[in-house]
Structure formats: C-alpha cells, structure tokens
A and B are shown apart, each in its own frame.
Chain A
Amino acid sequence: MTERLRRLLGALLLAAVTGPAVALTPLEIQGKELYFGATGRPLKAYLAGSSEPVDAAAVPCAGCHGEDGRGRSEGGIVPGDITWSSLTKPYGHSHGAYRKHPAFHERSLAAALARGIDPAGNALDPVMPRYVLGRNDLAALTAYLKRIEADPPAGVAAGRLRLGVVLPLAGPQEPAGRDLLALLSTYVEELNGRGGIYNRRLELVIAEAAADRRQTLANVRRLISVTPVLAVIAALVPAHEAAVAETLDRSDVPLIGAVADFPAAGARNGFYLAEGLPERLLALLDRISAGGSGSPPGEHRDEATRLPDRPRLAVVHPAGTDYRPLLEALDAAAADKGWPRPQRWQNVADSAESVADAVIFIGSETELAAWIAARPAVALPPYLFLPVGAAAGDALFDLPGAVADRLLIAVPFPPIDPAGGRSSELSGWQRRAGIGDRSRYAEMLGLGAIQVLTEGIKRAGADVSRRKLVAALEELRQFDAAPLPSLGFTPARHIGRSGTAWIAIERERRRFREIDGAGGTP
C-alpha cells in the first residue's frame, strides 16, 4: 500500500465514523419511518368513502407531501406543506376561496389524521386518507414533522455529500479493488479541491464486498441506514452483485453499477454503464454465424481454420443457479441457428472427454487461466471465447501462446489504445492516484462510474436527494465519461450503452487489439 493510499484510507475511515451533526432521537426516527411508510408494521389507512382499510405503507405521507414535507402538486391535487413551521403559522391557512382554518396544533393534527378535518372542522381534500395511529405513533409522527425541515435527505448535510463504494478488499480481486479505491479517492479529493459540488465536500464510505454473501450484504446495509449515503458505486462486485443491487433498490438507494453480469432489468434505482452477459453471449453467437467475422481471434490463423457452419459449442460455466437462465438462452439461440445443443462443461474432466469446435468460457480471466492450467494435456478446441464484463487485466498476456492465439474476448467497451487520446485521460489519473496499469479495465469503468454519478448530482441541484438523483440520471444523454465512449440513460432504460467490443491478445507486445471497429452504441 502506498503512503498516499494509507493517508486516504485514514481520511475515509474517519468519515465513516462521524455521524450527522445532530442525530434524530429514537422518537423522531420512529416518526420518520411512519412518514415514509417504512415501519414494517401493519398499519391501517382508510381511503375516502371506504369502510375497508388499506395498508398505510402503500399511501405514506411522503408520497404526496414529499420527502421534505413541502408538498408538490400532481394529477390536479395540491398536497399541503406539512412542515411544522407551516402548519403552525399563526395566521392559519386559506385553501382557495372555500376553505380557511386557523393554525394547527398537536390535537388538531391528530384530528386531521384520524378524521380528515382541519382545525376549523372542514373536511380535508377527499384524497387525503385517514390513518389509524396509536398514541405513541402519533407522538412520533408529530415529533418528526417538527424536525423534518432540519432533517436533510440521506447522505446530504450542509457541507458534505456522502457516497458509498462497494469494493473487494481481499481475495483474488483485491489488487483491482485497491487500485479502484485509490482512483476514486483521488477523483473525489481533486473535486473537493475545486470546491466540491455546490460547496459540499464529497466523502466516500467503503463497504467491503466480501466472499461471504451475508457479510457483504451486512456491509451494504450500513450504507442504507447506519452511515447513510446518497448513492452507491459498485464498480467491481465479483460475487453477490444481484443481491447487493436488490438490497439497495428495495431501500431506494441509487446504485451506479459499472458492469454487472446480470443488470437488474426492473430496477428503479440501479444504473449500469453497459449491458450484461446475456447480450454479449448472444452477440457472440451472431458473430460466429455471420461467418467471416466469426473467424479468427488470433492473428496467426487462416481461412483453413474457420468454424464449421454448424459449430459444436461447449460452454464452461460456474456452478450455481444464477447461470441457468443464461445457459437456457444459449441453448435456444443455438437451436434457432440449427446448431447442435451446446455442451455444458462444469469441470475440467468434462472437457477432456468431449469434442467441441469452440469453447465459450464464462468467468474471469484468472479463472480461465486456472482452468487451462488444470486441464489434461489434450488438444484445445480451435476457438476460445471469453464474454466478460470487467476483465482484460494483464493476466491474459501470461496465458500460454496456444491459448492466447485462440482467444476472442467480448467486452462492453473497447480497450484503450495506449497510443490514443483516451489513454492519456486514464494514465493521468493513474499517475495522480499512484497506481499502476494492472487493473486498467476496472479503472476505466470506475472512472466512468464516478463521472456519471457526480454529473447526476450536479444536475439534481443543490437540494439533491436520492429520488432527485435518480430522476437526473434518467435524463442524462450522450454524456462523455472519458475514457469511456459517450453513454446515457432514459427512464425506461438504465443501461448506459449497448453493444460489444471484440478484442484479441497480442502477447509479444503485451497489448490488446480491437477487432473491426469501435464497439457499442449509446
């Protein structure tokens, strides 16, 4: 660990243990849970004219009156400002020409909630539900309404914004995790040096992506409530990515997941820079069936070694049910093309006995190297395909020549040409962060992710909240996240860029070569 990184880590840990300036009291926290419909307890509400209760959590205060209590009109209804200072204005309120009432106090608030009447005894707007609250819940909700104006959105305070980072800090992915942390910390430090965003300093809170799923999720949950963050970057979550994404989405925490094998299609708060593994796998099959372009990865091949028209594929895949739908999609796509059903090789022994024209390897490049090393000394199939999300580390250059020459890698973004302009963008950051080139691809993605996130925060405005950040990201179009190509999102599509880049290995020069043009479209 470099001295610089040690210093940065010290600052980060400090940031993680200092809480908000004045914490909410337990009663206020209980009130806040009521306000947002997050108590987890069954509470009843009655809709206008209905004698049957509905679940109060389905129609929480925050839905209409907003996370700040100020109300905002929608669909022709105008929910009131229910911050305590507004409710208790001494001269009361007039709602249009028809309804006037004096200031609220605690008793009249209780009557409004339970019976739907204002302090003058007028009926409230019929869309305001009536809530059945016990004495304690009522006291808690009242306490929170008195506090709501001084309760900034999660992760936001007067002088700072807190962002979560999920990273592996042990195991095979540790080097990439450390490099990425140094890079993100440097990015944030430089941004803060220029005044931060709207005069708020950014702070990173680290949650370790551990090998153990339960531990990882426990770490991630701390970002939701214990040291709440505005949003989370998960640029590199080797395992449990789906569980991490789901946990955050359920709590409405925005997630910038750089690259995931399976981006959550229905996620409301999750954003991904690129498509997942299924799209890359299908693109690979299309490439193979397109004939000419399905041919040689390595540069030492000739037409004689082209794949047959009906190639016998084998897929080496990790154990576990996560990959089953993917394998079924692969079978269906092969059947569509009239190819034999791809063989499934789960372990090295399978591969010794079976014959295939091409192997699709699902896993990281280190797993590929391990599989090759453990394989019995039988001839390799002529083609090896590696459809990965975040890989292409230097380990690939150390593969045996026979493997490297057979290998075609499918990645969501083209690699950086060391001679090209986009390279200087990355190498500048690497130099300032004091990190090397060993995790180049992960660094590219991390840099893309933090730029997307900080741009979203800027566009969300000074009164940013988790919800406003999601809305701002959904409007991000053609955003230049150098060194990545431009990308963007829409409300219906939280995938920044489509398409696949194809790369082969040039072992002698220890570099990647992109095959036929730039990959991906925004």
Chain B
Amino acid sequence: MPLPAAAAQDADVQLVDAPLLDQDGNAIRFASEAVGEHIVAINFVYTGCTTLCPLTSATFGKVQGRLKSGPTDDIRLISLSLDPGTDTPARLKDYAARHHAGPGWLWLTGRRGEMEQVLKGLGAYTADFRNHPPQVLVGDGQSGQWTRFNSLPAPDRIRQELERYRAARRRD
C-alpha cells in the first residue's frame, strides 16, 4: 500500500534576523547568517522529544548523507529548537551528535522571546511545544521562495525540493 505523499505547498515566511546560538555556542543571526544566501531545509525539534523529533532528525540525517556526495556549500540544514528554555547549545550538540550531524547542519537555540519571533515568522510557533505538528520548510535565501511540508516528508522528497531550488538558480 502506498504511503500518503507529504503534501507540499508554497509558503509565505518572514525571516526574522534575531540573534541566536548554534550548537557550539556561537552567536549567529537567523535571517542574515544562518539562512543567508543558502538553500535551506528547516525542521523543528526539542531535545526532550522522543517521538517525532528522532524521526525528523533521522530524516535530515539521510538528507545530509546524500548531500555529502555533491557540492554542499550552497545548501544548509537547520534544526530550530522549540524548547529554548531547556535546549542549551551543549544539549543540542549532544543531540546532534546522536544523529551524526555534520558541518552544514546548524542546531539553533536562543532566548525564549527571540526564538518565538523566529518561529512565528516561519509559521511554526505553537504555544505548547509538546504538541507541535510535524513540519519541514525548504527554501532559498536568495530568491525568498519557500515550500512548506505539513507532515513528515521522506528524505528523498526533501532532497528533490532542495535540488529543485538549486536548479531554479541555474536557470535564472
């Protein structure tokens, strides 16, 4: 039986340029530095989550694995913490290591208010982070075009979308 395909739709997002922290504790601004000019895939996690987040993280792990074979300087993966009160950079780093996250994959946290702004801008804020719906965003920091998956897309599907944005750049 075929699995339901992850529904993708064009997304209207606001990239907030809030100061955040990466998994090494380095300061990084979300819109101008983390996304910057890259083609990115963004998911939403918290380290205390044992259900959905390991699945989304494993999915990104697969995406990362495939990207390694091609040039990746233009592509980035970003995992944003839904629970910045708990997720210190050290905790995110530990969590990232469990999912074998490599260089082009940022794990971001920050002050609660600023994380909230970033998440709201992306349409991914929920008052109760434990009940966040699964969501993945893929987009291009140059063109400002974004795609939203309101489900857990398969790794291949995320890769296709990243490649589609890359191809669109070549056409322009």
Contacts and interface: CB of A to CB of B under 8 A. Distances in A.
Please say whether chains A and B are actual partners in one complex. Answer: yes
Interface of A: 47-52, 54-55, 58-59, 62-64, 74-77, 79, 116-117, 121-123, 126-127, 129, 265-266, 268, 474, 490-492
Nearest to B84: A492
A268 B88 CA distance: 11
Given A127-B134, A266-B94, 13 more contacts: A47-B58, A49-B156, A50-B155, A52-B62, A52-B155, A58-B54, A63-B54, A74-B130, A75-B51, A127-B55, A266-B91, A491-B85, A492-B85
A63 B58 CA distance: 13
Contact of A76 (B6, B131, B153, B154): B131
24 contacts: A47-B154, A49-B3, A49-B6, A49-B154, A49-B157, A50-B62, A50-B154, A51-B156, A52-B65, A54-B61, A55-B58, A58-B54, A58-B58, A59-B54, A59-B58, A75-B52, A75-B134, A76-B134, A116-B3, A122-B1, A127-B152, A266-B90, A492-B85, A492-B91
Contacts of A491: 48, 83, 85-86
B87 interface: yes
B146 to A, nearest CB: 21
Interface of B: 1, 3-6, 47-55, 57-59, 61-62, 65, 83, 85-88, 90-91, 93-94, 98-99, 130-134, 151-157
Contacts of A123: 1, 3
A265 B51 contact: no
A268 B86 CA distance: 10
A474 B99 CA distance: 24
B90 to A, nearest CB: 4
A488 to B, nearest CB: 14
A494 B64 CA distance: 32
- Residue of B52, B65, B87, B134 ringed by the most chain A CB atoms within 10 A: B52
Nearest to B53: A75
Given A47-B58, A58-B58, A58-B98, A490 B85 contact: yes
A127 B94 contact: no
Nearest to B90: A266
Nearest to B87: A492
Nearest to A129: B55
A75 B130 contact: yes
A12 B169 CA distance: 70
Nearest to A59: B54
A63 B156 contact: no
Nearest to A49: B154
B51 A77 contact: yes
Question: Which 5 A-B residue pairings sit nearest by Cβ, starting from the closest?
Answer: A49-B154, A266-B90, A491-B86, A75-B52, A63-B50
Given A265-B90, A266-B94, A74 B55 contact: no
Contacts of A74: 49-52, 130-131
Contact of A266 (B57, B83, B93): B93
Given A266-B91, A268-B94, A492-B87, A47 B52 contact: no
Contact of A79 (B51, B132, B151, B156): B51
Contact of A48 (B48, B94, B152): B152
A439 B146 CA distance: 64
Contacts of B99: 58
A54 B61 CA distance: 8
Given A59-B54, A75-B132, A266 B152 contact: no
A52 B64 CA distance: 12
A48 B154 contact: yes
Given A50-B154, A74-B49, A126 B3 contact: yes
A421 to B, nearest CB: 35
Given A59-B54, A266-B90, A491-B48, A48 B131 contact: no
Contacts of B83: 491
Contacts of B91: 266, 268, 492
Contacts of A49: 3, 5-6, 153-154, 156-157
Given A52-B62, A266-B90, A266-B93, A77 B156 contact: no
A309 B58 CA distance: 56
B89 to A, nearest CB: 9
B131 A75 contact: yes
A58 B133 CA distance: 20
A71 B3 CA distance: 22
A48 B153 CA distance: 8
Contacts of B155: 47, 50, 52
A68 to B, nearest CB: 13
A521 B155 CA distance: 48
Contacts of B4: 126
Contacts of B153: 49
Contacts of A52: 62, 65, 155-156
A76 B133 contact: yes
Given A117-B1, A265-B90, A63 B51 contact: yes
Nearest to B152: A127
A64 B154 contact: no
B165 to A, nearest CB: 20
Given A59-B55, A76-B131, A76-B133, A48 B3 contact: yes
Given A54-B58, A76-B134, A492-B85, A64 B94 contact: no
